[in-house]
Amino acid sequence: MGKFVVGTVVALLITAGIVFGLPSSSADNPVVPVENGDVNGSDIDEDTEEKLYDRTWVSPAMVEIGNYYPGGSAGWNLRVHNGSDTEAQFLVAYRVPDSDKIKEGYVMAPAEAGDWIIVSDPTPLLAPKETREIRITLVVPTSIRSEDLPVKWEFWTSVIEVTGDMIQVETCTRWLVSMRT
């Protein structure tokens, strides 16, 4: 009888986590609870990370923020990996999307959106083969009215290695924001 009760309680807790959006242990589709919005993104899996050990990469490629409103806070950890054999300095920053690459159904972020993005470590120095998480947070001020914002808008975060004399390659993460209606 005791095992049945414990099993039932565990099943109810797991169901509650799914229904209420508690953190998922799935690396394929983690859900991170945020203060005032729903944020979803997909990181690369461990097997792919192993294959890309000698290459520089960022993850996730896309983050979706839903049910967002001014005054809310929504964030995600951007993972940056230095695939080189030497330490490397990176620049992590807000970026205006290329207008011809905006996801269908979305529009360009408002002009002042760059002021709403907080990058926890905008110039990380990574050791060879190091992977580091950089927190990216969107905070639209309460002085901005919801009705003055597009219902669906997009911005990017850019990651560029700035050390060395080589050609600089930019990698971007797409952020899709859907406002609360």
Alpha carbons 57 and 89: distance in angstroms, whole number = 14
Q: Where are the domains of the chain?
A: 1-31, 34-179
Element (H, E) at 178: strand 170-179
How confident is the model over 9-66, as pLDDT tens digits? 333 322 222 222 222 222 332 223 333 344 455 566 666 666 677 888 899 989 999 9
Among the listed residues 115, 123, 53, the one whose alpha carbon sits nearest the alpha carbon of residue 88: 123
How confident is the model over 92-142, as pLDDT tens digits? 999 999 999 999 999 999 999 999 999 999 999 999 999 999 999 999 999
Q: What would the mean pLDDT of 70-88 be, rounded to a whole number?
A: 93
Strand ranges (DSSP E) for 1-140?
31-33, 38-41, 57-59, 62-68, 73-81, 88-95, 107-108, 117-119, 125-126, 131-139
Residue 80, pLDDT score: 95
Residue 5 pLDDT > 50, yes or no?
no
How confident is the model over 130-176, as pLDDT tens digits? 999 999 999 999 999 999 999 999 999 999 999 876 678 889 999 99
Alpha carbons 99 and 16: distance in angstroms, whole number = 41
State if pTM tops 0.75: no
Residue 21, pLDDT score: 27
For residue 95, the tally of other CB atoms under 10 A from its CB is 19
Q: Assign a CATH topology to domain 34-179.
A: Immunoglobulin-like (2.60.40)
